[in-house]
């Protein structure tokens, strides 16, 4: 049976290091080393405890990363006129962030396997924090492009690293929900970041001789640096290192994950071998289409709301939080339902379809602000809801190094649409005078993702059934 375990023998061995005094299985086959009935009773509370321990910090880390990635959308409201940038320059610079992703994400995730989550997440947070602060010194288009590329390069590996990291701690039957909870970091960033960014822009003015957009980059870059330092103190690489779990709890979790790996059967472990699998490249194309709406709406959301007749920066910030509130609810519900049914294909495809419909409606109802805003809410919520079920599909085929490298490959190449989408919207707006033209192009990509998933992805369930663990 296909599984999303994503853990190969060397990872399990690494997780077991230092645990020789703990009860262990005598083989790598099915069967917990301790009484299965007792394990079934105790495992689920342990996974809840793990989730409460590691998920809030991972969410916070991505909230800050997302905020530093997209706050350029608010900076744009003053930055373009101060620096004399065109809409096309802004759109190109906002999206070129993903070029850094393309170049550095695979090396970062392969390095993740060697040095672990603690060092990887700390490095990422510190470097992107300092780069975000440096954005306040932008004077030219070339400098804008360079810092956006560096921001992408330094953040590269965080998202796929977390997707891989979760496979070290959770079996497939929990992972859709965990990815869903992690993905709410994006909308939470919008909920908090919109009002905060709007307040900073409205309150700072030209204080200290700096423009409000310069204050925005400075004040929102500092938390990233602080989180990078905190990562070194609180992050554990694997359950085997978690001193906050008892020996018995660690044994249960590691053997549960090992058993799931065994039940998964043969999967590709070599990254070079994964590159020869057509379905890996299909997933990359699907993800390219799927991603396009998310950064487009993030980078252009404030401008779209402004175009609906809202001119106050704080009001724009508050209104921009509404689509993200809807996205939080949609992401949690879709992830939970996908785990409950172990169905990933239709959950992803229908979310992409709904995002495409929302983007089209934004263009059609551009002259009707309430309907256009409702369409923005639909598009944003559906676009983000697609991620949780999608990321359970790559490990249908892959484990170990193949999973680490391929998740990074899919994310890095797929995220290039995060460059194309915002640039297309800016370029077509300069050309036609309308934002809706670019939104139609992005809608086409979302609909293409839905069609490719339904037409070509397998119908097989992901991972072992929940009933595998005795309760």
Q: What is the pLDDT of residue 263?
A: 62
Q: What is the pLDDT of residue 146?
A: 93
Q: What is the pLDDT of residue 311?
A: 73
State what percent of residues in the chain have pLDDT above 70: 84
Model confidence band, residue 222 (pLDDT cutoffs 50, 70, 90): very high
Model confidence band, residue 236 (pLDDT cutoffs 50, 70, 90): very high
What's the maximum distance between 2 C-alpha atoms anywhere in the chain? Answer: 70
Q: Of 142-151, 264-273, 396-405, where does mean pLDDT reach its minimum? A: 264-273
Mean per-residue pLDDT, 354-366? 89
Does residue 41 have a pLDDT over 70?
A: no
Q: How far is CA 14 from the centre of its chain?
A: 26
Q: What is the pLDDT of residue 7?
A: 35
Q: What is the pLDDT of residue 468?
A: 39
Task: Name residue, tokens 């879709």.
Answer: 334
Model confidence band, residue 470 (pLDDT cutoffs 50, 70, 90): very low
Mean per-residue pLDDT, 107-114? 84
Q: What is the pLDDT of residue 270?
A: 65
pLDDT for 70-106, tens place per residue? 788 778 878 888 888 888 888 788 778 878 878 888 8
* Token pair in block for residue 288: 């390219």
Q: What is the pLDDT of residue 24?
A: 39
Q: Of 180-194, 280-294, 357-371, where does mean pLDDT reach its minimum? A: 180-194
| 8 A C-beta contact, residue 70 and residue 187 | no
Q: What is the pLDDT of residue 37?
A: 46
Instruction: Give the C-alpha distances (Å, rounded to integers) separating 229 from 114, 122, 133, 196, 233.
Output: 20, 6, 16, 23, 7
State what percent of residues in the chain have pLDDT above 90: 18
Q: Parse the chain into domains and list their residue ranges.
A: 9-15+37-464
Cα–Cα distance measured from residue 326 to residue 377, given in angstroms and rounded to the nearest whole number: 7
Q: What is the pLDDT of residue 14?
A: 44
Q: What is the pLDDT of residue 11?
A: 41
Which of 328, 294, 290, 296 has the alpha carbon at shortest distance from 414? 290
pLDDT for 136-182, tens place per residue? 898 898 999 999 999 888 888 888 889 889 988 888 778 878 888 88
Q: Phi and psi at residue 246, in whole multiples of 5°?
A: -75, 165
Q: What is the pLDDT of residue 235?
A: 92
Does residue 29 have a pLDDT over 60?
A: no
Greater confidence (301 vs 86) lies with 86
Mean pLDDT of the chain, nearest integer: 79
What's the CATH number for 9-15+37-464? Answer: 1.20.1250.20
Q: Give the chain's length.
A: 471
For the chain, what is the HEC assignment? CCCCCCCCHHHHHHHHCCCCCCCCCCCCCCCCCCCHHHHHHHHHHHHHHHHHHHHHHHHHHHHHHHHHHHCHHHHHHHHHHHHCCCHHHHHHHHHCHHHHHHHHHHHHHHHHHHHCHHHHHHHHHHHHHHHHHHHHHCCCHHHHHHHHHHHHHHHCCHHHHHHHHHHCCCCHHHHHHHHHHHHCHHHHHHHHHHHHHHHHHHHHCCHHHCCHHHHHHHHHHHHHHHHHHHHHHHCCCCHHHCCCCCHHHHHHHHHHHHHHHHHHCCCECCHHHHCCCHHHHHHHHHHHHHHCHHHHHHHHHHHHHHHCCCCCHHHHHHHHHHHHHHHHHHHHHHHHHHHHHCCCHHHHHHHHHHHHHHHHHHHHCCCCHHHHHHHHHHHHHHHHHCHHHHCCCHHHCECHHHHHHHHHHHHHHHCCHHHHHHHHHHHHHHHHCCCHHHHHHHHHHHHHHHHHHHHHCCCCCCCCCHHHCCC
Q: What is the pLDDT of residue 400?
A: 64
Q: What is the pLDDT of residue 317?
A: 73
Mean per-residue pLDDT, 334-362? 89
Q: What is the pLDDT of residue 127?
A: 93
Q: What is the pLDDT of residue 268?
A: 55
Q: How many CB atoms lie within 10 A of CB 433?
A: 8
Which residues make beta-bridge pairs with 268? Answer: 398
pLDDT for 2-23, tens place per residue? 333 333 444 444 444 444 333 3
Greater confidence (255 vs 204) lies with 255
Does residue 362 have a pLDDT over 80?
A: yes
Instruction: Give the C-alpha distances (Å, rounded to integers) separating 395 from 64, 164, 234, 371, 387.
Output: 28, 10, 28, 39, 14
């Amino acid at each position: 049976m296909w599984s999303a375990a994503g853990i190969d023998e060397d990872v399990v061995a690494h997780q077991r290091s230092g645990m020789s005094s703990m009860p262990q299985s005598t083989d790598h086959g099915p069967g917990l080393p301790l009484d299965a009935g007792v394990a079934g009773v105790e495992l689920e509370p342990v996974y809840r405890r793990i989730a409460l321990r590691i998920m809030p910090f991972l969410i916070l880390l991505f909230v800050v990363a997302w905020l530093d990635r997209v706050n350029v959308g608010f900076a744009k409201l003053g930055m373009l006129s101060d620096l004399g940038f065109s809409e096309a320059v802004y759109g190109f610079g906002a999206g070129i962030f993903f070029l850094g992703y393309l170049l550095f994400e695979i090396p970062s995730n392969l390095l993740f396997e060697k040095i672990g989550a603690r060092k990887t997440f700390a490095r990422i947070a510190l470097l992107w924090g300092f780069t975000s602060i440096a954005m306040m010194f932008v004077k030219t288009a070339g400098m804008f492009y360079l810092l956006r590329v560096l921001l992408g390069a330094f953040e590269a590996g965080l998202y796929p690293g977390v997707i891989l990291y979760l496979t070290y701690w959770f079996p497939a039957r929990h992972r859709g929900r965990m990815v869903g909870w992690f993905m709410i970091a994006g909308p939470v960033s919008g909920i908090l970041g919109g009002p905060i960014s709007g307040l900073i822009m409205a309150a700072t003015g030209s204080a200290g001789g700096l423009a409000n957009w310069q204050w925005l980059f400075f004040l929102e870059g500092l938390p990233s640096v602080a989180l990078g330092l905190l990562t070194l103190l609180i992050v554990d690489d694997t359950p085997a290192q978690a001193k906050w779990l008892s020996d018995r709890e660690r044994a249960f979790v590691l053997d549960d994950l090992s058993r799931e790996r065994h039940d998964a059967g043969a999967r590709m472990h070599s990254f070079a071998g994964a590159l020869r699998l057509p379905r890996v490249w299909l997933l990359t194309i699907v993800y390219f289409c799927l991603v396009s709406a998310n950064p487009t709406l993030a980078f252009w959301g404030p401008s779209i709301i402004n175009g609906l007749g809202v001119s106050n920066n704080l009001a724009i910030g508050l209104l921009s939080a509404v689509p993200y509130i809807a996205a939080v609810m949609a992401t949690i519900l879709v992830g939970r339902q996908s785990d409950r049914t172990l169905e990933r294909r239709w959950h992803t495809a229908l979310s992409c379809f709904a995002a495409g419909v929302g983007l089209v409606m934004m263009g059609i109802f551009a002259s009707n602000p309430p309907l256009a805003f409702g369409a923005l809410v639909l598009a944003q919520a559906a676009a983000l809801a697609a991620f949780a079920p999608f990321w359970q599909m790559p490990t249908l085929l892959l484990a170990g190094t193949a999973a680490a490298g391929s998740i990074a490959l899919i994310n890095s190449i797929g995220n290039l649409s995060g460059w194309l989408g915002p640039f297309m919207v800016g370029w077509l707006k300069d050309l036609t005078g309308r934002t809706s033209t670019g939104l139609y192009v992005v809608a086409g990509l979302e609909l293409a993702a839905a069609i490719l998933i339904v037409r070509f992805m397998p119908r097989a369930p992901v991972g072992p059934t929940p009933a595998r663990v005795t309760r």
